[in-house]
């Protein structure tokens, strides 16, 4: 069990009954218990159909869209009526998202729905259906400039994190909210204990990460799923520019028409603060949450996929390391699938675990979840292992080196040994990894001999490349590959490794406007003869510093080192480990204006693998 720092508990413990029968046995003159326990978990004793559904608009005290009115953030709430009638308070599960109108949430792309008076009817996802009957409120928050919120998003900066923090402040009696978007009738959160747990996948989980670094009182836990931990690393790659502006990327109709019109001056001003050449700036430092992990006062339950292409797993590795260093109470699920919510790859186990996690951190129920293994890792599709930590205990760096002709081993290449590739921005790591026995001008490929015994890799590999370019700019990418037959998640399919079935299962209670029954899912698998384990990209012109891109002198070698995406993988005996070096990977960066030929000094190039147990030469 990890030693945890003492936390300020701003929420009083609630009185709990020990059985569902206790609720029925309470005299009508007495208030009903705020929650009921049976078998160590809260029970569904409150009516979802009769729950209170309401909307409030939290005053942010800013006017980023310059319309002359203070910005307001829309919050749709559903909460059990019985505790409210008894004068008792409930904790809050909160999901801030930009996607409630444009794109929807979950495997069925659910959107918010309202009646003819604008009152909320349909709440996306299962949180409301499952947790409201158990004594929780659920608050779904429209992020800045989306759906029914005003203001302007600032690309994960202080405006967006501060706005959600203001909602938590309102839930704790420290901020003002109104009953309408433009009116002046105030709304109180006198039904809230002030204990808040934020949850969400992708952008939703990213907001939770950012709000946690503010140390806002009342935020007791966050559950980020496939979330960004640093916007620099989402839009750039070790000095290589990602090729798009973070404030203008995203799905069509992400923002409201009003926001697109009014926020244009705000966006133009913000975009002067970051460079389009991959340089690290104060703008990016402000949006790197890992730098403020010491300020996190909430517990953190992370979920991430090693093959996530929307939010690569290096985000997970940096955030987890920072939280571990800060001794934040934490838990981790790691899957071999892609950008997938665990509700869609291990539904029953996930809901049960999340239920106990919220009971522990929002209701202070001592259910033993803190004493269980901290980490669950999916080693192979559908095969999970519980461990005390991650990377695995005993993981250590083992250095492998490339040499001609296409060898990867612990031996150093002779001086002068070199290999060259020409940047082809139409290719990517999967193209490079195919046909390893066929030469390609776009990449150089090196492989070990077949392994005599299986080899576990747990953590983040890093590459050091010494290379020269024929032009003043050059991008270098690296990929680590397991060459050998396997069955893996089809993580590039539309479901990122999961697929919907025709059957449904129910998770909570329903109303005619909000069903608790969701399409079942199954793992989407494919048989392969090789598998890309990890990858990364860097700009050779940032060899000295990320703050500035330096022009390369053609023919003069420079050295860069960068991490690859995180992994936890067992390479079977008989397989070969491959290292690929190439130019632009169009999934991660834009191409240089002139495509270079890059010559790699193999004697001064290497990859460090996080190996558990026996090494390749033992």
Catalytic annotation, pick one of 164, 202, 313, 477: 202
Structure tokens at 462: 């890093």
* DSSP letter string, 8-36: ---SPPPPEESSHHHHHHS-TTSPPPSEE
* Four-point Cα dihedral 554, 557, 559, 563, nearest 10: 60
Alpha-carbon gap, residue 158 to 289, rounded angstroms: 11
Q: What is the pLDDT of residue 490?
A: 96
What residue ranges in 234-380 does DSSP mark as E strands? 236-237, 240-241, 299-305, 330-335, 375-380
Is 432 strand, coil or helix?
helix
CA distances from 337 to 342, 439, 459 (A): 10, 30, 16
- Residue 532: what pLDDT? 98
**Triad 205, 209, 211: Cα angle to 5°:** 110
Sign of CA dihedral 201, 207, 212, 216: negative
| The dihedral sign for the CA sequence 355, 358, 360, 365 | negative
Residue stretches of the chain with pLDDT short of 70: 1-33, 248-249, 617-618
pLDDT, tens digit, 9 for 90 and up, residues 117-162:
999 999 999 999 999 999 999 999 999 999 999 999 999 999 999 9
pLDDT at 10: 33
Q: Residue 202 catalytic?
A: yes
Across-strand partners of 563? Answer: 462
Looking at residue 296, what is its pLDDT? 98
Which DSSP helix (H) or strand (E) runs through 133? none
233, 339, 489, 531: the active-site residue: 339
CA distance 228 to 315: 6
Task: Supply 471's token pair.
Answer: 């032009």
Distance CA 379, CA 222 (A): 25
Confidence (pTM): 0.93
The contacts of residue 256 (CB under 8 Å, 6+ apart) are 145, 146, 147
CB 463 within 8 A of CB 402: no
Task: Give me the catalytic one of 308, 321, 346, 423.
Answer: 308
Residue 541 per-residue DSSP state: G
Please indicate whether residue 47 is annotated as part of the active site.
Answer: no
Core vs surface per residue 549-580: b (16+ CB within 10 A) or e: bbebeeeebbebebbbbbbbbebeeebbbbbb
Helix (H, G, I), strand (E, B) or coil at 503: strand
What torsion do the CA atoms of 162, 164, 168, 171 make, to the nearest 10 degrees? Answer: 120
């Amino acid at each position: 069990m990890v030693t945890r720092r003492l936390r300020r508990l701003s929420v009083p413990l609630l009185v709990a009954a020990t059985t569902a029968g206790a609720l029925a046995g309470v005299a009508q003159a007495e208030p009903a218990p705020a929650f009921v326990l049976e078998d160590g978990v809260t029970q569904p004793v409150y009516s979802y159909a009769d729950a209170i559904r309401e909307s409030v608009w939290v005053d942010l005290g800013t006017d980023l869209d310059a319309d002359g009115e203070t910005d307001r953030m829309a919050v749709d709430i559903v909460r059990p009526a019985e505790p409210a009638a008894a004068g008792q308070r409930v904790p809050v599960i909160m999901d801030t998202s930009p996607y409630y109108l444009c794109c929807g949430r979950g495997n069925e792309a659910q959107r918010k729905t309202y009646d003819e008076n604008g009152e909320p009817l349909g709440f996306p996802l299962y949180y409301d259906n499952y947790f409201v009957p158990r004594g929780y409120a659920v608050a779904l928050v429209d992020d800045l400039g989306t759906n029914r919120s005003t203001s302007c998003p600032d690309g994960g900066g202080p405006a967006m994190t501060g706005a959600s923090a203001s909602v938590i402040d309102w839930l704790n009696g420290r901020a003002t909210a109104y009953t309408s978007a433009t009116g002046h009738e105030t709304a109180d959160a006198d039904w809230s204990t002030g204990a808040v747990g934020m949850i969400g996948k992708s952008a939703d989980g990213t907001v939770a990460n950012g709000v946690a670094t503010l140390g806002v009182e009342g935020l007791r836990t966050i559950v980020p799923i496939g979330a960004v931990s640093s916007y620099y690393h989402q839009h750039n790659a070790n000095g290589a520019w990602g090729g798009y502006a973070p404030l203008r990327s995203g799905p069509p109709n992400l923002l409201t028409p009003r926001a697109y019109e009014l926020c244009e001056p705000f966006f133009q001003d913000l975009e002067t603060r970051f460079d389009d050449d991959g340089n690290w700036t104060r703008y990016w430092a402000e949006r790197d949450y890992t730098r403020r992990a010491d300020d996190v006062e909430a517990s953190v339950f992370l979920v991430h996929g090693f093959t996530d292409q929307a939010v690569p797993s290096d985000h997970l590795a940096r955030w987890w390391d920072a939280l571990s260093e800060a001794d934040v109470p934490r838990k981790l699920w790691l899957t071999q699938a892609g950008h997938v919510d665990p509700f869609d790859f291990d539904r029953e186990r996930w809901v049960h675990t999340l239920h106990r996690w919220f009971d522990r951190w929002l209701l202070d129920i001592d259910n033993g979840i803190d004493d269980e293994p901290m980490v669950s890792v999916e080693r192979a599709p559908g095969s999970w292992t519980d461990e005390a930590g991650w990377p695995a205990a005993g993981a250590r760096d083992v250095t492998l080196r490339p040499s001609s002709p296409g060898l990867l081993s612990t031996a150093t290449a002779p001086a002068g040994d070199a290999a060259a590739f020409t940047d082809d921005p139409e290719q990517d790591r999967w193209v490079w990894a195919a046909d390893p026995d066929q030469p390609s001008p776009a990449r150089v490929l090196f492989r070990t001999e077949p392994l005599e015994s299986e080899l576990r890799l747990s953590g983040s590999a890093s590459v050091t490349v010494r290379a020269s370019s024929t032009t003043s700019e050059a991008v270098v990418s690296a990929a680590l590959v397991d060459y050998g037959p396997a069955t893996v998640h089809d993580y590039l399919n539309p479901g990122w490794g999961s697929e919907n079935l025709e059957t449904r299962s129910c998770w909570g209670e329903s109303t005619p406007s909000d069903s608790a029954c969701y399409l079942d899912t199954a793992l989407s698998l494919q048989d392969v003869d090789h598998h890309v384990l990890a990858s990364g990209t860097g700009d050779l012109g940032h060899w000295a510093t990320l703050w500035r891109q330096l022009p390369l002198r053609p023919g003069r070698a420079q050295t860069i080192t960068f991490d690859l995406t995180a992994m936890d993988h067992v390479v079977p005996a008989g397989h070969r480990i491959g290292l690929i070096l190439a130019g632009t990977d169009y999934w991660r960066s834009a191409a240089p204006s002139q495509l270079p030929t890059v010559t790699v000094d193999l004697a001064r190039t290497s990859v460090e693998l996080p190996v558990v147990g026996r090494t390749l030469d033992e």
